[in-house]
Amino acid sequence: MSKGHFGKFGGRYVPEMLIPALEELEKEYLGAKADKNFKNEFNHHLRNFAGRPTPLTFARNLTEKLGGAKIYLKNEGLNHTGAHKITHCIGHALMAKRMGKKKIIAETGAGQHGLASAAVAAKFGFSCKVYMGATDVERQRPNVFWMERLGAEVIPVSFGSKTLKDAVNAAIKDWIENVEDSYYLLGSVVGPHPYPTMTRDFQSVVGKEARKQILKEEGRLPKRVIACVGGGSNAMGIFSGFLKEKNVKLIGVEAGGTGNAAGEHSSRFNGGSLGIVEGYKSIFLQDDDGQLQKTHSIAAGLDYAGVGPELSYLQSKGKILFASATDSEALNAFELLSKYEGIFPALESSHALAYAIREAPKLDKEDSIIVNISGRGDKDLFIVANALKDKQFGDFLKAESSKDGYNE
């Protein structure tokens, strides 16, 4: 491993108090990587706890409707806890165990990484604190509830923009204070070295599976692999299986939100610039003074001002193309997949799907594309119901909230 630079991106731009801890983590990780037992244990829990491998599902009806390339769905939503996040959480939990840590600190946006962190903490016997922006606590309450049931303490962060970036800041600060007995379980391929590398490595199982599965189904590689990009963990996971292939185009889909102005979207590659925040150098949505800007997305997991350094590097080399999908395109994709394929995609993943819907008709019928359905949409029940203006659901909520249990 280099010092964690991907070209000019990445690195370890942290205060002195974290450097020894990151050096130790890197050293331990290199040890674990070379350790057969670690690998076996990781694979064991992926199979028997997370439910891997996840299927690659041919979306026949949607393909026929769109009349272009065959659309395959890598259904990460079938993982335990409902998203790809459990995969790297198992890897990190095993690292925490190996290092003799007692506590897990995590941050979360949509709550999916927090949920997966809380689940592995329960399973492997760690205490768990999850930092979550106050805005995200409000819009992802079901996940907060479930995290708490798993025994985690969810701490709302009401500084700054009250979303994922602020949760990351708060989690790092907790780690600085408690570095001795705590393991920071960072939720995506962001942050200081070695996090982007470790989390990518853990997630790379998704790319390996998808590659094998598509070859089995189609006998050849797909033309496109499409993934949504918040920090970039699900994207790096699936892309890593196809990075060396010249004829497979990799497309990262960012949140286009409601418009192009600052604060209306989270498309780092459409308005962002090079910066150094939260321990890594990458593309950030920031003003000309280097202050991070507010971001927006209907999908909390994409609502983040930074992006993994390796993705910025691969973008700069032309190996990953970036596109965006708006809130309403994502909602539309959500509805299409539900009605045509019987699958609720997470709103994050719906962004990738929205791009695929645009792209498939332009390709040959013989071609195939893979869309990473990074999570399932159950967690988005309230957001979708509201966006669809489902009045009866609103009445149901009112009736529910007047029940005794909530009013004592």
Ligand X SMILES: Cc1ncc(COP(=O)(O)O)c(C=O)c1O
Q: Are strands 153-157 and 249-257 parallel, antiparallel or unpaired?
A: unpaired
Nearest approach, Cβ of residue 109 and another protein (Å): 15
Closest by CA position to 120, among listed 37, 202, 200: 202
Q: Are 175 and 185 in contact (CB under 8 A)?
A: no
**Contact partner at residue 286 from another protein, ligand X, none, CB < 5 to 8 Å by partner kind:** another protein
Residue 328 known to be catalytic: no
Rank residues 289 and 404 by Cβ distance to another protein and give the closer one.
Answer: 289
Please name every residue paired with 75 in a beta bridge, in sequence order, or none if there are none.
Answer: 373
Pattern 359-388, binding to ligand X, x per CB under 6 A?
Answer: ---------------xx-------------
Nearest approach, Cβ of residue 180 and ligand X (Å): 28
Nearest approach, Cβ of residue 289 and another protein (Å): 5
Instruction: Indicate which single residue of 96, 228, 277, 331 sits in contact with ligand X (rule: CB under 6 A).
Output: 228
Q: Which stretch binds another protein (CB under 8 A): 107-115, 224-232, 269-277, 314-322?
A: 269-277
Instruction: Indicate which single residue of 194, 279, 301, 309 sits in contact with ligand X (rule: CB under 6 A).
Output: 301
Binding status of residue 291 toward another protein by CB under 8 A:
yes
Nearest approach, Cβ of residue 222 and ligand X (Å): 19
Binding status of residue 97 toward another protein by CB under 8 A:
no
Closest by CA position to 341, among listed 85, 31, 25, 60: 60
Binding status of residue 282 toward ligand X by CB under 6 A:
no
Count the Cβ atoms, other than its own, within 10 Å of residue 80. 20
Instruction: Indicate which single residue of 276, 321, 385, 397 sits in contact with another protein (rule: CB under 8 A).
Output: 276
Residues from 77 through 116 that contact ligand X (CB under 6 A): 83, 109-110, 112-113
Rank residues 275 and 377 by Cβ distance to ligand X and give the closer one.
Answer: 377
CA distances from 296 to 12, 162, 255, 264 (A): 27, 11, 8, 5
Catalytic residue among 26, 107, 209, 359: 107
Q: Count residues contacting ligand X (CB under 6 A)?
A: 21
Q: Are 211 and 105 in contact (CB under 8 A)?
A: no
Residue 85 known to be catalytic: yes
Backbone dihedral angles phi then psi of residue 267, each to the nearest 5 degrees: -95, 95
Catalytic residue among 70, 85, 101, 103: 85
Q: What DSSP string runs through 6-53?
A: ETTEE-----GGGHHHHHHHHHHHHHHHT-HHHHHHHHHHIIIII-PS
Instruction: Indicate which single residue of 57, 233, 286, 315 sits in contact with ligand X (rule: CB under 6 A).
Output: 233
Q: Are strands 127-133 and 153-157 parallel, antiparallel or unpaired?
A: parallel
Binding status of residue 105 toward another protein by CB under 8 A:
no
CA distances from 28 to 5, 82, 88, 173, 216 (A): 19, 29, 16, 22, 36
Count the Cβ atoms, other than its own, within 10 Å of residue 176. 15
- Greatest pairwise CA separation for the chain in angstroms: 62
Rank residues 27 and 339 by Cβ distance to another protein and give the closer one.
Answer: 27
Q: Spell out the residues 6+ positions from residue 326 whose beta carbon is closer than 8 angstroms to its own.
A: 256, 257, 258, 354
Q: What DSSP string runs through 118-133?
A: HHHHHHHT-EEEEEEE
**Contact partner at residue 222 from another protein, ligand X, none, CB < 5 to 8 Å by partner kind:** none
- Element containing residue 70 per DSSP (H, E): strand 70-75
Rank residues 228 and 363 by Cβ distance to ligand X and give the closer one.
Answer: 228
Binding status of residue 277 toward another protein by CB under 8 A:
yes
Instruction: Indicate which single residue of 62, 95, 179, 336 sits in contact with another protein (rule: CB under 8 A).
Output: 179
Binding status of residue 286 toward another protein by CB under 8 A:
yes
Binding status of residue 100 toward another protein by CB under 8 A:
no
Distance, first Cα to last Cα, the chain: 56
CA distance 48 to 43: 9
Q: What DSSP string runs through 317-361?
A: TTSEEEEEEEHHHHHHHHHHHHHHHS--B-HHHHHHHHHHHHHGG
Nearest approach, Cβ of residue 67 and ligand X (Å): 28
Binding status of residue 252 toward ligand X by CB under 6 A:
no
Instruction: Indicate which single residue of 141, 173, 220, 317 sits in contact with another protein (rule: CB under 8 A).
Output: 173
> Catalytic residue positions?
85, 107, 374
Residues engaged in binding ligand X (CB under 6 A): 83, 109-110, 112-113, 188, 228-235, 301-302, 346, 348-349, 374-375
